[in-house]
Amino acid sequence: MSFQNPVFIPGPTNIPDSIRKACDMPTLDHRSPAFARLFRPAVEGVRRVLKMAEGEVVLIPSTGTGGWESAISNTLSPGDTVLAARFGMFSHRWIDLCQRHGLNVRVIDSPWGEGAPLAAIEAALRADAEGTIKAVLATHNETATGVKSDIAGIRRALDAAGHPAMLFVDGVSSIASMPFDFADWGVDIAVAGSQKGFMLPAGLAIIGISPKAIAATKTARLPRTFFDFGDMLTSYAGGGYPYTPAVGLIAGLAHAIDLLEAEGLDNVHARHTRLAEGVRRAVLAWGMTPFAASPDLYSDTVTAVRVPPGCNGTELVQLAAAKYGVAFGVGLGEVAGKVFRIGHLGMLTEAMVLSGLAVAEMCMADLGWPVKLGSGVAAAQEFYRGSVPALALAAE
Amino acid sequence: MSFQNPVFIPGPTNIPDSIRKACDMPTLDHRSPAFARLFRPAVEGVRRVLKMAEGEVVLIPSTGTGGWESAISNTLSPGDTVLAARFGMFSHRWIDLCQRHGLNVRVIDSPWGEGAPLAAIEAALRADAEGTIKAVLATHNETATGVKSDIAGIRRALDAAGHPAMLFVDGVSSIASMPFDFADWGVDIAVAGSQKGFMLPAGLAIIGISPKAIAATKTARLPRTFFDFGDMLTSYAGGGYPYTPAVGLIAGLAHAIDLLEAEGLDNVHARHTRLAEGVRRAVLAWGMTPFAASPDLYSDTVTAVRVPPGCNGTELVQLAAAKYGVAFGVGLGEVAGKVFRIGHLGMLTEAMVLSGLAVAEMCMADLGWPVKLGSGVAAAQEFYRGSVPALALAAE
Amino acid sequence: MSFQNPVFIPGPTNIPDSIRKACDMPTLDHRSPAFARLFRPAVEGVRRVLKMAEGEVVLIPSTGTGGWESAISNTLSPGDTVLAARFGMFSHRWIDLCQRHGLNVRVIDSPWGEGAPLAAIEAALRADAEGTIKAVLATHNETATGVKSDIAGIRRALDAAGHPAMLFVDGVSSIASMPFDFADWGVDIAVAGSQKGFMLPAGLAIIGISPKAIAATKTARLPRTFFDFGDMLTSYAGGGYPYTPAVGLIAGLAHAIDLLEAEGLDNVHARHTRLAEGVRRAVLAWGMTPFAASPDLYSDTVTAVRVPPGCNGTELVQLAAAKYGVAFGVGLGEVAGKVFRIGHLGMLTEAMVLSGLAVAEMCMADLGWPVKLGSGVAAAQEFYRGSVPALALAAE
Amino acid sequence: MSFQNPVFIPGPTNIPDSIRKACDMPTLDHRSPAFARLFRPAVEGVRRVLKMAEGEVVLIPSTGTGGWESAISNTLSPGDTVLAARFGMFSHRWIDLCQRHGLNVRVIDSPWGEGAPLAAIEAALRADAEGTIKAVLATHNETATGVKSDIAGIRRALDAAGHPAMLFVDGVSSIASMPFDFADWGVDIAVAGSQKGFMLPAGLAIIGISPKAIAATKTARLPRTFFDFGDMLTSYAGGGYPYTPAVGLIAGLAHAIDLLEAEGLDNVHARHTRLAEGVRRAVLAWGMTPFAASPDLYSDTVTAVRVPPGCNGTELVQLAAAKYGVAFGVGLGEVAGKVFRIGHLGMLTEAMVLSGLAVAEMCMADLGWPVKLGSGVAAAQEFYRGSVPALALAAE
């Protein structure tokens, strides 16, 4: 594995040089006013990226998994019921976490490759006249299958059913790369991680919380201390932090948001769509298809490529790493071997994506897959040529 | 606050340049074999620093507070009883955490400034013939008061009482700076943090676990997922990690241990004792005393300085930051104002300590405290002159 | 221009992360023994890379141009005669420098695209029975045209003519990337720069000097102080430096040589040949040709691509930078517009080269050049697939 | 030598973290417009720091010695006469350089510890009615003795004598730390280096050139190519550089000037005066004196401390490095052993200076010098207490 090559895993992403520098800072006294001066812009920036109109942001030194745990342990009590669809490894894991913490999860199983089943969710909510369901969990972007779900649609389902459940969204692999609208979608808790669209190293869970979710913390009886929202918000109000914060990641987050906003959030989203579309053109040129069941489900941050019959995606990933020093993602769980995954999120360029496609093609040829060298690259080149805005790339 | 000056807070510590570089790394695929190659030396190194003969090490992207939470949530069940002495802010906080998680804490309150009360602990254990107490919690180094406790003594108390309780030790501000002997002291869980003796940024809880504590995880019913030791160890066995690891901090940890071992752990401990003794000589020269009740309790990583009557330690800390750009620690909780704290842990030199002492003296003079400029510096100089080994300082 | 993309200029090269870290160091007292400990390995390493059996190495805080100047000003006197062939921009510039410093240059002009004309050189030497020619200047790798010259052949010409002239070689864009044999070729002064095969930032001229050249310094009357070899060697002997050295670049040089030797110099050369050959296959697949007149002249560090009639290489370079954020080299001097240049030296991978080729193709298509997208990429892929050693790439 | 400690050599200085980051950049194509965007602010900033009203700035990848060489080789011809005073190692070296390059130097020898002898200079100029003297060389701050000279006074001498000679000033260890007024003082060439007041690593000569000096380049016949001002200015005009520039140092220079201007140049000068005065108070408290002959000559960037009879300053410097890991400057040339030097320039704080003073005292005690521990520290503390502006130190 050479650090000279970009990575094409669906996170952690390639870290821009200036973000690495922002994170790499000398020790700063987190009990001094200097900390508050550094912290506030990060929190305010997250609020803008999530498009929050009200509510609070907390930053916890952990990961997306910690963010999931914080969402439920702060707002729910043992035995509470939540509704969740399962259609990939990461939706599966959040459900598993809920069960370990003593929640009753009503699981709607959908085929992997599908997104959140809106009709079934609405039906389940309508059937819950007594309001047993306290929260609906939704995986905005299922990283395992490269599928995005319609969070606005889930909000509509809740509204159509007139159901008061909270809406918790796992946006770990979507937020800051794909459009997200906390306010408009009526999200109650959004969970993001530092190492995806925010382009930072792993180590920070980034969480948006609605007033309704904050209210729920008052009565929630699941135990928590490290993840306690109340401690966080009380400390933040005084310019502090309940324990030792990950100062470098917080400084990096503020800088990452500066970069995102300098490019323009809409432009960032459009760039992800453009880069993803080039990858998809390559996949089709290879005679393969994205694993996502239909184009409206295509994720703009990761493409799970369904490999030809008789081929094994995991072999490609291993060969790419061992022979060419390039990292792709393997298929996880029930799609192990059936797909390989190309991450295309974070501060990526056309040149970088093309090198990933070129390496994937060499691996396919090496493994005897029926693919013509250069074919996917050419399809992506053709698309990028026509779509890349001149001078789009600032000297980051 | 100038980043040119060292910090004298009791953690996070000043970060050596080479550790900053080790942490600041490009993205590495944590699902690739390269991750295991990087992870294993870190874990093995921790084992040596803790002096573990058996058991396991886990590294969790969180902090000391997360380490505390992981210790109890992995090994205990709701309603379980633990025994803990409270004699400072950090022993207090661990007790509070236990209570929030539904444990029954038998608290032995001791005056702040004292260490763990061995006799009272032994008495409590002897009185618990039925073995209700599942674990004894011990704060090895109470960062709030600059007091170290006798963990070997607690082990002797357990043995003398013939009590089977586990021994959980908060070594956050002692481990890697002061002697620690997991095996010899019969520790069941030791909690350390990256940002103290390991000289890293905050963001990693470093935890040693005995076979007995691992056995306890099988039946422990407190909920946990992010902190689950079982998931950690299962993943480690396969060269993986249960979620996205903090790769840079892990790489930095391996390098930090290389630095510690290049200096020699015994030499590291001796250096901390030497630097601390210089600070204490300065304190006495100022006509003040360490807050710790007796010399055997003096911490080698932090000195809480009892300020003269009518003086306020917090004012000194604020003035040092605002006027001289130097960070000291305020008194916390019931010693707020009554002390200020000088951290002297991590990769520190005599020159650095002397600059801290000199700045503290200027603040004292500015605030009208009855202290002669240069007096504490001179006392520390005299001690260092006679005790520093020539050529002790490698070109780190 | 995005810093995320590799550069494809023929130097400065892409800088490996660990080299950037080695260069980025805190201030070290260059009058202390610590400096000598850092300096000596750099000098000794250069000796090995150049394959010197005897003589000295000096490191001067300047560039290749400074290296050229040092070579002549230390060894020659006003009015001295040197022999040089001119067949590209960089051989031209060295000649110009000599003329500015009052030397009499016997210039052998050869067509650009050719290498050093061995027969003409030998003839000139044979004609100089009186030994007027004090030195032969040779450009090992003409960066402007992508042409390598046969330095061993020039040595044979000198020997055949029985001529005592010194042999000065500009190896700026060859040394550390292509085979170089100071001892075997009888080189008297070899000039390299930090920013090419050594993969460092610009700022250090790296110079090997034979005993014969050192002897020449005793009588040489061209003025010099900053570049004075005598001052350098006298200072080095005492562990010092005649003025303030570029300590970070020297530390980086020592590390770069560690990297080169860890890979193996022969492997480094083979990798450059392999990467270059892939580029040349792509060029042929585009229906174009390298500018170098014949395959034996092909440089392994840079390919000047002769563009199709009616096309302008400079437009490609400008478009690549403006639209795709990728840097190639323009044609210089008399080949301006007629070529564009692809640098392929330093710590490069197949994935990186392929991204450069893919971007070049997009630009060609954008400019209406008669090239099929993906064609060059495919040719390079096919070659790399068959030639890259598995696991060749260490986790630099 | 520990990198944790500040250095107290009179340059290179301690490098602020943000400057290290600005210098440590990925490769940027120096032939692209991105280079010009980065270069221009650096050049414009230097113009402001030097207080130039007209003329040009060149940045050459070399050092102060290279700057000296460039000054004379661009403006003078072999045999030309220059006037220079010699009163320390660095004024000596510039004179030596001139002689090596074939100039006729009229040397006015003054005792070391004195500054430029204005009356003697004026007399020499008046005596040169025929205008033989082409340039007056002046060392603004003699780093070897800690003496500053009155450059405005030399201008007055030139004006009083009505002499047309150019005025060349070595401001290597003064510029950016002490007031400098290119326009007001009628300077023709000012030479600075990156590694002193600009707080960068060594490797960049920073040169201001008056229109008169530029005019002189047209007829100057000393050979130069690497240092040629004409090539520089021609290239700059087109957004280029005559060879490969030291891009990272140029980026760092622009950032350093941002830091200086954020603090305010007047404040920077005042800070240097304040820090220097504290050092001088300490020296007096030790019963010693600055080597500079009178207070008006005291340098604000370096203090050469005259050591007591029977003591050897070099021993102190060696002991400080070996035992305490702290770097001071030895006495050079005729003051070897008679002084040791404390550098106090660049981004320094009171806390840093005090640590240096404290370490010097320990060394004095170790060596048996008649000095009371803490005495110099106390004198400096007393002075700093009363003079440091609150909140002066930004979070650099």
Contact C365 A381 (CB under 8 A): yes
Residue B35 CA to residue B28 CA, distance in Å, equals: 7
What pLDDT is stored for residue D394 in this prediction?
Answer: 43
D240 Cβ neighbours under 8 A, 6+ residues apart: D30, D31, D35, D36
Instruction: Please state, rounded to an integer, the average pLDDT across all residues of chain A.
Output: 96
Q: B32: nearest CA in chain C?
A: C395
Neighboring chain A residues of C386 at a CB cutoff of 8 Å: none
Residue D99 host element (H or E): helix D89-100
Contact A17 D26 (CB under 8 A): yes
Look up the pTM and report it: 0.97
Query: Which chains reach chain C with 3 or more Cβ–Cβ distances below 8 angstroms?
Result: A, B, D
Neighboring chain B residues of A96 at a CB cutoff of 8 Å: 225
pLDDT digits (tens, 9 = 90+) for D253-263: 999 999 999 99
Contact D325 B351 (CB under 8 A): yes
C26 CB near a chain B CB, below 8 Å?
yes
Q: Please, what are the averages of pLDDT over each run of 10 residues along chain B (396 residues)? A: 86 97 97 96 98 98 98 98 97 98 98 97 98 98 98 98 98 98 98 98 98 98 98 97 98 98 97 98 98 98 98 98 97 97 96 98 98 98 91 46
D202 CB near a chain C CB, below 8 Å?
yes
CA nearest to A66, candidates B37, B205, B195: B205
**Which of B21, B32, B39, B393 to mutate to test binding with chain C, by most C CBs within 10 Å of its CB?**
B21
List D residues 28-87 in contact with A (Cβ-Cβ < 8 A): 28, 34, 37
Contact C391 A322 (CB under 8 A): yes
Start-to-end CA distance of chain A, whole Å, equals 25
Report the residue from C65, C201, C245 with minimal CB separation from D226. C65
3 state SS of C141: strand
Residue D270 CA to residue D264 CA, distance in Å, equals: 10
The CA distance from C4 to the nearest CA of chain B, in Å, is: 12
E strands present in chain A: 56-60, 81-86, 104-109, 133-139, 141-142, 147-148, 166-170, 189-193, 205-209, 289-290, 302-306, 329-330, 339-343
| A-B C-beta contacts closer than 8 Å | 161
**Which of C21, C39, C347, C393 to mutate to test binding with chain B, by most B CBs within 10 Å of its CB?**
C21
Neighboring chain C residues of D1 at a CB cutoff of 8 Å: 28-29, 32, 34
Neighboring chain A residues of C383 at a CB cutoff of 8 Å: none
C63-86 average pLDDT score: 98
Query: Does the pLDDT at position C393 exceed 60?
Result: no
Phi, psi of D103 (to 5 degrees): -90, 160
pLDDT digits (tens, 9 = 90+) for D327-350: 999 999 999 999 999 999 999 999
Q: SS3 helix, strand, coil % of chain C, rounded to 5?
A: 45, 15, 40
Report the residue from D1, D4, D381 with minimal CB separation from B358. D381
Contact B347 D1 (CB under 8 A): no
What pLDDT is stored for residue B389 in this prediction?
Answer: 81
Neighboring chain D residues of B285 at a CB cutoff of 8 Å: none
Report the residue from B366, B381, B393 with minimal CB separation from D2. B393
pLDDT digits (tens, 9 = 90+) for B114-170: 999 999 999 999 999 999 999 999 999 999 999 999 999 999 999 999 999 999 999
What pLDDT is stored for residue C307 in this prediction?
Answer: 98
What pLDDT is stored for residue B3 in this prediction?
Answer: 81
Instruction: Output the CA–CA distances (angstroms, integers) from residue B161 to B122, B123, B124, B126, in the order listed.
Output: 6, 8, 9, 5
Residue B74 CA to residue A338 CA, distance in Å, equals: 36
Using only C-alpha atoms, chain A has a radius of gyration, in whole angstroms, of 21
B26 CB near a chain D CB, below 8 Å?
no
Phi, psi of A197 (to 5 degrees): -60, -25
E strands present in C180-236: 189-193, 205-209
Contact C326 A374 (CB under 8 A): no
CB-CB contact of B240 with B32 (8 Å):
no
pLDDT digits (tens, 9 = 90+) for C35-67: 999 999 999 999 999 999 999 999 999 999 999
Query: Does the pLDDT at position D392 exceed 80?
Result: no
pLDDT digits (tens, 9 = 90+) for C150-197: 999 999 999 999 999 999 999 999 999 999 999 999 999 999 999 999
Contact C17 B26 (CB under 8 A): yes
In which band, very low, low, confident or very high, does the pLDDT at A1 lie, cut at 50, 70 and 90? very low
**Which of D29, D90, D330 to mutate to test binding with chain C, by most C CBs within 10 Å of its CB?**
D29
Query: Which chains reach chain A with 3 or more Cβ–Cβ distances below 8 angstroms?
Result: B, C, D
Report the residue from C21, C34, C395 with minimal CB separation from B395. C34
Q: C20: nearest CA in chain B?
A: B21
The CA distance from D126 to the nearest CA of chain C, in Å, is: 31
What pLDDT is stored for residue B391 in this prediction?
Answer: 53
**Which of A21, A32, A35 to mutate to test binding with chain D, by most D CBs within 10 Å of its CB?**
A21
The CA distance from B207 to the nearest CA of chain C, in Å, is: 28
DSSP class of residue B66 equals H
The CA distance from B394 to the nearest CA of chain D, in Å, is: 6
D396 CB near a chain B CB, below 8 Å?
yes
Contact D26 C13 (CB under 8 A): no
Residue C384 host element (H or E): helix C375-387
Query: Does the pLDDT at position D289 exceed 80?
Result: yes
Neighboring chain C residues of D327 at a CB cutoff of 8 Å: 29, 32
Question: In the numeric block, which tokens belong to residue A109?
Answer: 């199983």
Work out whether strand A339-343 and strand A302-306 pair parallel, antiparallel, or are unpaired.
Answer: antiparallel
CB atoms within 10 A of CB D131: 12
Contact A390 C323 (CB under 8 A): yes
Neighboring chain A residues of D17 at a CB cutoff of 8 Å: 25-26
Q: B67: nearest CA in chain A?
A: A226
C395 CB near a chain B CB, below 8 Å?
yes
Contact B203 A246 (CB under 8 A): yes
Q: B285: nearest CA in chain D?
A: D374
Neighboring chain D residues of C24 at a CB cutoff of 8 Å: 20, 23-24
E strands present in chain C: 56-60, 81-86, 104-109, 133-139, 141-142, 147-148, 166-170, 189-193, 205-209, 289-290, 302-306, 329-330, 339-343
What pLDDT is stored for residue A390 in this prediction?
Answer: 59
pLDDT digits (tens, 9 = 90+) for C262-310: 999 999 999 999 999 999 999 999 999 999 999 999 999 999 999 999 9
Residue B320 CA to residue B317 CA, distance in Å, equals: 5
Residue B250 host element (H or E): helix B247-263
The CA distance from B251 to the nearest CA of chain A, in Å, is: 13
Q: Dihedral (C-alpha) C319, C321, C327, C333: value to the nearest 10 degrees?
A: 50
Token look-up 């969402």 returns A71
Beta partners for D341?
D304, D329
Work out whether strand D289-290 and strand D302-306 pair parallel, antiparallel, or are unpaired.
Answer: antiparallel
A177-188 average pLDDT score: 98
How many helices and strands in chain A, by DSSP H and E? 13, 13
Neighboring chain A residues of B62 at a CB cutoff of 8 Å: 61-62, 66, 226
Work out whether strand D141-142 and strand D329-330 pair parallel, antiparallel, or are unpaired.
Answer: unpaired
User: In this predicted complex, what is the ipTM?
Assistant: 0.97
| B-C C-beta contacts closer than 8 Å | 13
What pLDDT is stored for residue C3 in this prediction?
Answer: 82
Q: D381: nearest CA in chain B?
A: B362
Query: Does the pLDDT at position D391 exceed 80?
Result: no
A223 CB near a chain B CB, below 8 Å?
yes
Quickly list DSSP for B262-328.
HH-HHHHHHHHHHHHHHHHHHHHHTT-EESSSSGGGB-SSEEEEEPPTT--HHHHHHHHHHHH----
The CA distance from D41 to the nearest CA of chain C, in Å, is: 18
Contact C26 D14 (CB under 8 A): yes
Contact A69 B226 (CB under 8 A): yes
CB atoms within 10 A of CB D139: 35
- Preceding omega of D179 cis (within 30 degrees of 0): no
List A residues 2-21 in contact with B (Cβ-Cβ < 8 A): 3, 7, 9, 11-15, 20
